Structure 1
């Protein structure tokens, strides 16, 4: 039996033939990926920008300030950057475990909610023979992810810059307990999936591991046209009214509208963007943090904003913020904005929450719009395209040594990496691949059956499919996250961005359950731990995983991609492949040089005590241990970034 797999449009008609016994061969010689510098940066159209933005530079300044400002979090501690401060990802090691909530597991097998990770904990799925998937000798379904906020329900914001007023909720009682407490003392909640880097995320057609940060931004939440409600207010002919709103190709804006209200990541439960606006609009950006004088965006010569409100007025069209009308918004209005939190990771709703009638002005009511667009424009500047590999692809043949070139050949050939990590972006989930080849793809399965799947999303056998549905899950409206299943159910009108694949009849079979978005690989040296569960600590452990054909590919049949099979790489070949992956690091990221420079920030890194005993603070929650990162200007820092746990990338 032969399975045929279509590759990205960037490679024309090249295909792989994958034999039933697991050996593979290229049927055509595939060109190496191009330099990322050759790829246009996707984003808002000129007309969309013109309708919204009056000063793009000011909007980027607003985005960077909001991304790094710890006051965006309900606790005045948690910024977007808190989980994205290390090459755009998170390398903290204490209190970073989720017990496997998406698999229905609330107990910890590895340690506990305040456990400190160590090298010997990895990989989470262990084999007697690293090259043989059938030799599992130990397995833990914990997820290594990012600590967020304590379990609280929202009451109100402070208008003077203080932390939100929130009611403490015992984690031991919500949902029957979700594991984030020790002896009744709450620890910070931990997200149910590992934190991906947001550097180069502008090239993704959808964001989050399961793609739920939609390619269309609706101005209010991550779900694009799937949300039937109108969420944006606009002053038209002197009248403030709600308007139909959609920004095409704005998945970073969709992504940005999720975490600030997430009860796991940044917020007390049931806070709204309008309330966050009331907290921030009158404040000076980053007033409690330090900005380097030569910060490439926020430095003293480039940035002078007395308040966030003033910066919004400078950046955006008056039609979206200038109305003097006062809006009376009900609890039902607040519920139109949907939470990004996955159902099994949430606490139960507090009936005494803040969802009650509120009064807002148009700037406050549209704060999710300003937040999302500003962060999209800022993150669109975070492009790492000056790696040794990019220089090699540009014709500087000496940029890679002999070992790295052997690794590139394996990446393109026997390793089959290029099937999923396609194109200059090194991901088939990229804007150019998805819009070029098509948003749906197909392959042949057993007995000639056709399987359809979302382009760029693959089940690679990292975990049993039942542990986490990935793109096979559902959105808050009950729709499939998978565009394949949306097409099967006739809901293509909700997919936006000129979805038009009606000529390809959807097959009855899908390969979307347990599938996750393929990440890009630049700076992968620094973004461990790896995979959606954070289960591998080093690049060699990742290579071992693919060399043995995944960990649970056989169990997950027929969902895994046919390229997930034993590769037969020797130890020397594996080392060559790791050596090539290290050529994908950009020294501007390594040393935090512009545009990757940043303000200072203090980050929670676990709580005082260990997984068995905690010290409570005056609120009754565990006492944070804070690690502070100094401000870095455009010239960067002297010390380079480290790998996860400071591990050698070649370590098994």
Structure 2
């Protein structure tokens, strides 16, 4: 890195640029535009495509491609659809016996259509990728043989304050070490980056610690669900963007806190990379022969298709094109590192500069005490998955409800949101066959513990037997800043309001009995009164940073237009002519916002918060 501020500018441009998507309609921000998350509500359901474990659910469809809610894709979510697991009395602590309805859908974010990558459109400016449409029968994202946009299999977490996470994604796939090319750190043992050394261009290993957001950033642009036609490598994205002006079809406010100087004179991406990064990684005049074998070294973030690059064609590339994944990951990381919300009423109270209301103060006491929230949402980051917490103790032990002592990944817990068989979470594997869980990785292969990176010291830990590890169905604990605005909640998006979340914890989870072998022991009935629950919700609302609500710097942004479902319903959509449904027209558009913020007030999901009256 040569110029940090130049890297941040590059990162913000790439994060918001819709041409990063194969369809030229999908940016990183498309799923993170609203307090760091996504508040779209049509065509935002996945039917359960991560249920792929017949051993755990022998009598259930694996995966599940049947939509229980609405009967198909392109459904318009409504307030009354939530919570997905419903009780006769939401305050019940009787477990499964009091459930009156349940669906295993996931409320998440629409991405791209199912398609296979063919190539970029030569030197045509602002052209979408060339892709072959593939009818989506397997996962259910089609209506009458017309594809709808796919929806991600887990709810979209917030990018705000994500820089504090030791690992990112719900299952920790975004490794704390960045290898320059994919999300998997040292687990991918292949060299992925070209460096000029002594006048020669050669492939080298990159291992950047404390860079989980760079690892995370390298995943979605190649995902066949989120942003890309299946099988597109980063070198193709580099070829597509490098000679194009940043955000060429989008508007930048002259007062944008990062990009304002480019409002009327946009540079090309190539020039921004040259300004930002060490020339040894982009300046070589030599041509890289990027072959299929190079493409197959890349690990895909897509859990269902870990090796989508097997048919990527050989191509000649410049060093800058070949290393585009390195520049993209680091730039997006440094931009996201600026998205820190730390000026809420609670922050001012903690600094001795303000007061909480009587109700919020009571809620804080419950948060730290009877509610047991702090047991998982600790520290200023309000998550045990933070770098500060995890780096000191990567693996921890807990006493399960049956009295057995098991090892788990610090900050990742099974809390009974869904049956473990619906989504195994951190109990899954990476594209190289290794457990995603550090606990299970160490249990199976202590000799390779160095691949866990960032100073993992096997001498600190007793190697557990694999049956003494509890990771199935466990997910990263999210931070709670701005939680009022980041619904729907949990990895399945199955709760729409904070009160529904509090009810969940108060009754001791939704699937505690089904998940008892891996359930975090703190998940048990809390016996909170209605007044105590309202006070707890009031405290959670005190964690909202008003800069986020009104998109003030550093949360200002360029303009953005995004898909927002398809005309029609779950039974009928219009064929665009190539086998894909038409997007609703006009697209949903957000106006550019400068540093002073917007008049648009970000509201809770579906505009419905069921928030208690402040007292």
TM-score under structure 1 length normalisation: 0.89
Partner of 1:341: 302
Secondary structure of 1:102 counterpart: coil
The range that moved more, 380-389 or 448-457, is: 448-457
Partner of 2:459: 502
Question: How far 1:332 sits from its partner (Å)?
Answer: 1.3
1:444 aligns with 2:399: yes
Partner of 1:468: 423
Question: How far 1:243 sits from its partner (Å)?
Answer: 1.1
5+ unaligned residues in a row in structure 2: which ranges? 52-62
Secondary structure of 2:500 counterpart: helix
Task: Classify 1:303/1:323 alpha carbon distance in 2 versus 1 (closer, same or farther; 3 Å).
Answer: farther
Q: Is this contact kept in 2: 1:225–1:496, CA < 8 A?
A: yes
Question: How far 1:649 sits from its partner (Å)?
Answer: 3.4
Partner of 2:55: none
**Of 244, 249, 258, the match for 1:283:** 244
**Of 12, 15, 28, the match for 1:80:** 28
Partner of 1:538: 497
1:142 aligns with 2:105: yes
Partner of 2:342: 385
**Of 122, 125, 131, the match for 2:91:** 131
Question: How far 1:323 sits from its partner (Å)?
Answer: 0.6
Residue correspondence of structure 1 range 196-345 to structure 2 within 5 A: 196-300=157-261, 305-343=266-304
**Of 318, 343, 360, the match for 2:317:** 360
Partner of 1:183: 144
| Distance (Å, rounded) in 2 between the aligned partners of 1:211 and 1:327 | 32
5+ unaligned residues in a row in structure 1: which ranges? 1-52
1:170 aligns with 2:135: yes
**Of 523, 546, 568, the match for 2:527:** 568
Question: How far 1:616 sits from its partner (Å)?
Answer: 1.4
Secondary structure of 2:50 counterpart: helix
Question: How far 1:184 sits from its partner (Å)?
Answer: 0.5
Secondary structure of 1:588 counterpart: helix
Q: Is this contact kept in 1: 2:300–2:308, CA < 8 A?
A: no
Q: Is this contact kept in 2: 1:213–1:252, CA < 8 A?
A: yes
Partner of 2:368: 412
**Of 601, 607, 615, the match for 1:646:** 607
Question: How far 1:553 sits from its partner (Å)?
Answer: 1.1
| Distance (Å, rounded) in 1 between the aligned partners of 2:597 and 2:605 | 20
* CA RMSD, 1 decimal: 1.6
Partner of 1:636: 597
Q: Is this contact kept in 2: 1:297–1:303, CA < 8 A?
A: no
Q: Is this contact kept in 1: 2:44–2:109, CA < 8 A?
A: yes
Q: Is this contact kept in 1: 2:298–2:309, CA < 8 A?
A: no
| Distance (Å, rounded) in 1 between the aligned partners of 2:256 and 2:28 | 18
| Distance (Å, rounded) in 1 between the aligned partners of 2:308 and 2:303 | 14
Secondary structure of 1:71 counterpart: helix
Residue correspondence of structure 1 range 512-551 to structure 2 within 5 A: 512-551=471-510
| Distance (Å, rounded) in 1 between the aligned partners of 2:207 and 2:162 | 20
| Distance (Å, rounded) in 1 between the aligned partners of 2:263 and 2:383 | 35
Question: How far 1:306 sits from its partner (Å)?
Answer: 2.1
Aligned residues: 590
| Distance (Å, rounded) in 2 between the aligned partners of 1:301 and 1:290 | 10
| Distance (Å, rounded) in 1 between the aligned partners of 2:580 and 2:308 | 20
Q: Is this contact kept in 1: 2:307–2:431, CA < 8 A?
A: no
Question: How far 1:449 sits from its partner (Å)?
Answer: 2.3
Q: Is this contact kept in 1: 2:295–2:309, CA < 8 A?
A: no
Partner of 1:559: 518
TM-score under structure 2 length normalisation: 0.94
Question: How far 1:555 sits from its partner (Å)?
Answer: 1.0
Deviation string, structure 1 residues 349-388 (Cα, Å, up to 9, x no partner): 698x5x1211111000000000000001000000000000
| Distance (Å, rounded) in 1 between the aligned partners of 2:21 and 2:8 | 20
Instruction: Point out 4+ residue stretches in structure 1 off by more than 3 angstroms.
Output: 301-305, 346-351
